[in-house]
Amino acid sequence: MAASSERSPPPFPDSEEPELLEDSDSDDGAGVFTGTSISEMDSPSPVDTSRTPKDIFNEPPEDIFSDPLSDTNSEPQKSVDTKISSPVSDEDIDLFSDPLDDETKIISPTESKNPVPDLLNESLSNSEPPKSDVIVEPSDISKPGHKNDVGDRRKDIFEDLPIDGNKGVSIKKAASSELFEDDDEDDEDLFKEPFKAVSKKPSGPPVDVFTEVKSEGKGKAQGKNASTDLFAEEAVTAPGAKSSAGAGSKTNGVHSEEQDLFTEATVELSLDSPRNDRKMKDVVKPPVSTPAAPGMSASGSKAASKTLEELEEEESEDKFDLNISITNPEKVGDGMNAYMAYKVSTQTTLPMFRRKTFTVRRRFSDFLGLYEKLSEKHSQNGYIIPPPPEKSILGMTKVKVGKEDPSSAEFVERRRAALERYLQRVVNHPSLLQDPDVREFLEKEELPRAVGTQALSGAGFLKMINKATDAVSKMTIKMDEQDVWFDEKIQDVENEEQQLRKLHLMVESLVSHRKELSGNTAVFAKSVAMLGSSEDNTALSRALSQLAEVEDRIEQLHQDQASNDFFTFSELMADYIRLLGAVRGCFDQRMKSWQRWQDGLNMLQKKREVEAKLLWANKPDKLQQAKDEITEWESKVTQYERDFEKISATVQKEVIRFDKEKSRDFKRQIIKYMESLLLSQQQMIKYWEAFLPEAKAIA
Amino acid sequence: MMTELSVTASSIRITDVTQDGDILTFAITSQKLNSSGGVCVFRTYEDFDWLQQNLFSQENVPGLQGVIFPPLPPKVPSPLNTASKSLKQLGFLALGHDWQSYCKALEFYLQQVATHPILSQCKALDSFLTKSESPGKQRGRKGILNRLSQAVEGMRKESHKDVDDFFQKQRHKNTNLAALSKVATEKILDVVLTEQKLALACGHFSTCLHLCVNQDDEAAVAFSKICLKLSDIVEAVKRNFEKVANNNIATLGLGLDLEARYEEAEKEMLFRRTCKLIELETVKKNTEKTKANKRDVMEEIQKATEKEFSLISSVAKQEIERFHSSRVTVLRSFLVGWCEKQLDTAKECAKLYSQYLDTCKNLFSE
């Protein structure tokens, strides 16, 4: 946190910002706004920078796709000119002339300067209608397929978020960032190439560039400004929540926004050149800090924080657009061929699905099959594939035998909940959601029977993970990790896994003790009841039987709390132990890719030696073949290197995402846990309060 | 032999306990009856035992065998620090910090003796409470032997049919209640032990959460914060369990334990009476069998025994009535105290939880 606050640019007077935001919101805030911007040269600039990313979000694909980035330096000059003309056309535009500055610079100046500003203007001043236009435009440009999707989502956002005016900005931002999330997988490569070029250009530390930009006033933005924009564009590819979170914070939003832009930009940079270790280590930190930084500033207002939470929610696209629940576990068949079928219900507004709600029936092995398909396809890309719950032969056999005892009911419920969490994790992953197999799994009536999931069952599954981790540890020795981030993260993950295992044990013992307590309380209640029944004194007898009832209820409370403990913590820990296994699998994949690259390098080296020998031996006939081979291997090596860089970037992104998800999961569970604790405590109070007069009534 | 007790019964307190090797010494304070001065004496368990034996073997007290003697808690097994052993023998009395429950039970014993209309007259009690030097230990063992022989005979005599319907009923009820209250005491002991285990488990959990703290990067710091918060919460849960367990020990547990021991004491008294009854019946039989020349002597003996028996029975009746009314009051006070304490703890805890919940929500929404 300290790091982030250091990084934040010199603060602007806080009092001004809310005012500015409000102004921009009122219908004809133009006058007021321009007024302030004239009187204080400083104040518009934060606003303007804060807007920038939003604008960029809407436009960049086109920009980036069409513009060779090397041109950017020359373009701004033009854009400044054009910009000057546009404000004049509309009075309102004064208000936005600043954001437009930047925007126009990004947009290739040759087209559509006027319409976009207009739309933006309107979207800020009248809350609803134009927005969809605004979005449609960018999505048009970036990817026509997503048009409806985006439109829908934006509407949802507006319906669901409690907005008073000032938050409008942040919401728009969130929406647009989300929009980009969808695209960013596809665009990634496209983005990447230009970044490299750009990253070399601003040679000074990014902060310097930034402050310079700030110090330059309105129209003065030059080449430097252009590079800021580029940075901002890069931010688009980074997880949208960071920027949206920043915007969500009312008090300090503008500051953190600026900072976010930068930090995220730097992530992207570093992802592209993972071997700049020294610098990168420094650079990587800020993005991680960003989710916390805006939070600090937002802590004051509850409303703002609520929005923030919801925005974050959107970012992962869960609960919001896609709701999955697993219900009605049902035994199908008899004897040892019996299996449990679960009803998988999906509720969604995503246009990628044919209907809004649909249900399918799936059996456990189908879930395992989905996992296998996903890991086959995606694990080599460095994605963290959420692992399904393990197969339990013991538990399932009990169910198969068909005894209606509580332990098998508990088993089924436990598995149901685990499968639900598993599936939710899958669809929460933006890229896995796009996978046709996932869609098929959710939508298609009949799935081909998953075969060979036996390998994943119980101990086998664990063994597999262990093998993988063994392999990793062996390879770690070979691979001298050049990347500090990975070096530390791998260590961290291992430590974390151990700690989680320990915690898991603790929680298990807690749960078992609770169960014991509940059992003992029940026995005690029984003996008190007997004592009461053989008591002569009627009042005492009555009180004792009342006490027995109270104890019975308390027993129920303990039992509930035991299952609460179990489902909120024990299962959470178990999930994360499995997930950490998957994270290690990711590192493993990255390592493999590195290995391939190194092998390629070695091969290339050999080929060169062969060439040298041939050259020395003067054998021109074979020389050509050798040269061909060299070029072939050179391209291969380049490919491998690129692959490695790509997987490193993906893994890093995935791990950052994973960490965030983890924190959020834990938070959610803790709050849930506290609520359940409080509830049972309140229940307890009621019981005691009811009993007290009974005790006092004993004569 | 008969003297008025020179201190007020309600002022008797055990204020301190010191442990020297395997010997526990209790500090007993009480208030003088006719002056404002207090008395403080130091007694070991042997002294308590001496007092109890003195009460048992009082002379010139008619119908002494009909008295329900307040139960003296069993001796703490030595060595003192073997928790499992003492837990087995003492039950609840072994729990609580620093022998608190044990002291409470001894204190209660002294108060019961001091308020008893017959026993409070005993000279030994007064000297026990007021004399600074330790009373003699010469007559220590007898009582225990008595009890052992009782146990052997018990099986045979306990089922003997009573001549008096009241006592027959009492005996039946007493057997019932004694067994049930013993079971209930054991069960609540289990509950308390589990609560203590849970508190311990919570403690481990919370400590373990502290180990998860990692300052490497911002994400880890954020996660560490969550862990620390959870650790605090678990710590609160732990304290709650401890409090609930302590409440259980200090009120209901002690109360049930006392009840169980008192039922046991009543049983002993009833048993003594039954023994006397059997003795009387044998005497009667013998009288019938004996020849005329010895008949007078036998009739004399029979009369004396009959008189003694009826005296015991009348004392016993009074004692039973007294016991029944006092046990209801005692149980009531324990139950009310227990309920109030648990209610307080629950309220306190609920308040704490809701505070935590609020801070959680605020902290986590950052």
Supply the DSSP string of B23-55, one letter for each residue.
EEEEEEEEEBSSSS-EEEEEEEHHHHHHHHHHH
Side chain identity at residue B366, one-letter code: E
> Looking at CA atoms only, how far is residue A387 from chain B in angstroms?
22
Please give the residue that has the higher pLDDT: either A569 or A168. A569
Neighbouring residues of A446: CB distance < 8 A, sequence distance ≥ 6: none
pLDDT computed for residue B156 by the predictor: 60
- A648 neighbors A576 (Cβ within 8 angstroms): no
The one-letter amino acid code at A144 reads P
With left for phi above 0 and alpha for psi between -120 and 50, is residue A382 left, alpha or beta?
Answer: left
Task: State mean pLDDT over A557-564.
Answer: 88
Name the residue facing B230 among A284, A516, A670 (closest C-beta). Answer: A670
- Chain segment A470-511, per-residue pLDDT in tens: 555 555 545 666 677 887 888 888 888 888 888 888 888 888
Are the CB atoms for B364 and B228 separated by under 8 Å?
Answer: no
Q: Minimal Cα–Cα distance from A527 to chain B, Å?
A: 5
Residues 352-371 of A with CB under 8 A from B: none
Cβ atoms < 10 Å from Cβ of B144: 11
DSSP codes joined into one string, B61-113: -TTGGG--PPPPPPPPPSSTT-HHHHHHHHGGGG-SGGGHHHHHHHHHHHHHH
Q: Measuring CA to CA, how many Å separate A239 from each of A119, A180, A279, A621?
A: 25, 9, 22, 55
Backbone angles phi and psi of B28, in degrees to 5: -115, 120
Least confident of A427-436, A568-577, B77-86: B77-86
Q: How far is A650 from chain B (nearest CA, A)?
A: 17
Q: How far apart (Å, rounded) are the C-alpha atoms in residues A296 and A306?
A: 14
Instruction: Give the mean pLDDT of A427-434.
Output: 83
Query: Under the phi-then-psi rule, with left for phi > 0, alpha for psi from -120 to 50, and beta for the rest, what region is A524?
Result: alpha
Mean pLDDT highest for which of A78-92, A138-152, A388-402?
Answer: A388-402
Contacts of the segment A210-214: beta carbons below 8 A, 24+ positions apart: A210/A9, A210/A258, A210/A262, A211/A9, A211/A10, A213/A49, A214/A9, A214/A45, A214/A49
Q: H or E segment at A329?
A: strand A322-332
Q: Which is higher by pLDDT, A614 or A73?
A: A614
**Residue A345's beta-bridge partner residues?**
A325, A359
Model confidence at A16: pLDDT above 70:
no
Residues of B in contact with A682 (CB under 8 A): 350
Say which residue the tokens 């052993």 belong to.
B85
Give SS3 for B2: coil
* Average pLDDT estimate for A104-130: 41
Query: Is residue A37's pLDDT more than 50?
Result: no
Sign of CA dihedral A224, A228, A234, A238: positive
Cβ atoms of residues B228 and B207 within 8 Å: no
Give the pairing of strands B13-20 and B23-31.
antiparallel
The CA R_g of chain B, rounded to the nearest whole Å, is 27
The reply to whether A300 touches chain B by the CB within 8 Å rule is no
**Angle formed at CA B263 by CA B262 and CA B264, multiple of 5 degrees:** 85
Nearest to A169 by CA among A60, A248, A86, A261: A248
- Report whether pLDDT(A522) > 90: yes
Q: Give the nearest chain B residue to A670 (CA atoms).
A: B230
Kindly write down the DSSP assignment for every residue of A456-506, as one continuous string. Answer: GSHHHHHHHHHHHHHHHHHHHHHS----HHHHHHHHHHHHHHHHHHHHHHH
**Among positive and negative, which fits the CA dihedral A675, A304, A244, A291?**
negative
* SS3 track for A382-416: CCCCCCCCCCCHHHHHHHHHCCCCHHHHHHHHHHH
CA distance A685 to A682: 5
Around A429, how many Cα atoms within 13 Å sit in the side-chain half-sphere?
25
> Which of A115 and B271 is assigned the larger pLDDT?
B271
Structure tokens at B83: 């928790």
* Cα nearest neighbour of B351 on chain A: A678
Contacts of A671 in chain B (CB under 8 A): 357, 360-361, 364
Contact residues for A253 (Cβ-Cβ < 8 A; gap 6+): A17, A21, A50, A170, A246, A247, A294, A297
Answer whether A495 touches B (CB < 8 Å): yes
The reply to whether A522 touches chain B by the CB within 8 Å rule is: no
Q: Which of B188, B191, B345 is the best residue to mutate to test the A interface, defined by the most A CB atoms within 10 Å of its own CB?
A: B191
Q: Which residues fall within 8 angstroms of residue A595, CB to CB, at 6 or more apart?
A: A475, A478, A479
Residue of B nearest to A496 (CA): B212
Name residue A361's beta-bridge partners: A343
What is the pLDDT, as a whole number, of residue A471?
54
Does residue B215 sit in helix, strand or coil? coil
CA distance B51 to B5: 14
Per the DSSP assignment, residues forming a β-bridge with B23 are B20
CA–CA min distance A683, chain B (Å):
9
Region A239-255 average pLDDT: 38
Distance CA A216, CA A410 (A): 66
CA distance A366 to A340: 11
Q: Do A667 and B364 touch (CB under 8 A)?
A: yes
Q: Are A589 and A380 in contact (CB under 8 A)?
A: yes
pLDDT at B240: 92
* Helical pair A91-106 and A30-39, crossing angle rounded to 10 deg: 70
- How close B212 gets to chain A, by Cα (Å)? 6
pLDDT of residue A519: 92
The pLDDT-based confidence of A465 (bands split at 50, 70, 90) is low
User: Between the CA of residue B279 and those of A132, A213, B58, B171, what are the distances in Å?
Assistant: 106, 113, 21, 18
Closest residue to B211, CB basis, from A308, A499, A660: A499
- With CA atoms as reference, report the closest residue to A303 among A180, A196, A164, A194: A164
Helix ranges (H only) for chain B are 45-56, 83-90, 100-115, 123-130, 142-157, 165-211, 218-248, 254-289, 292-365
A537 with B350: Cβ contact below 8 A: no
CB–CB contact B364 A671 (8 Å)? yes
Strands ordered across the beta sheet of B38-44: B13-20, B23-31, B38-44
User: A194: how many CB neighbours lie within 10 A of its CB?
Assistant: 20
pLDDT value at A85 more than 70 = no
Q: What is the largest CA-CA distance in chain A?
A: 119
Residue A273: CB atoms within 10 Å: 16
Three-state SS at A133: helix
Computed over every residue of chain A, the mean pLDDT equals 63
Rounded to an integer, what distance in angstroms lies between the CA atom of residue A433 and that of residue A558?
Answer: 39
What end-to-end distance do the CA atoms of chain A give, in Å? 64
Question: Residue A9 and residue B112: Cα distance in Å, rounded?
Answer: 78
Residue A277 has pLDDT above 50, yes or no: no
Average pLDDT score over residue span A632-649:
89
Ranges of residues in chain B with a pLDDT under 70 are: 1-4, 78-83, 85, 135-159, 216, 364-366
Question: How confident is the model at residue A42, as a pLDDT?
Answer: 41
By Cβ distance, the residue of B190, B223, B343 closest to A663 is: B223
Q: Do B218 and A3 touch (CB under 8 A)?
A: yes
A–B interface: beta-carbon pairs under 8 A? 187
The rounded percent of chain A whose pLDDT value lies above 90 is: 6
**Chain B residues whose beta carbon lies within 8 Å of the beta carbon of residue A677:** 233, 237, 353
Look up residue B51 and give its two tokens.
């007092």
Of B296 and A73, the structure prediction assigns the larger pLDDT to: B296
Nearest CA among A641, A654, A635 for reference residue A275: A641
Residue B120's closest CA among B188, B70, B167?
Answer: B70
Amino acid at A441: F
**Stronger pLDDT, A45 or A433, i.e. the higher one:** A433
Q: For residues A352 and A230, give the distance between their C-alpha atoms in angstroms, rounded to a whole number.
A: 31
List the single best residue of A484, A674, A676, A689 to mutate versus B (max B Cβ within 10 A): A674
> Is B294 in contact with B334 (CB distance < 8 Å)?
no
Q: Are B265 and B71 in contact, with CB atoms under 8 Å apart?
A: yes
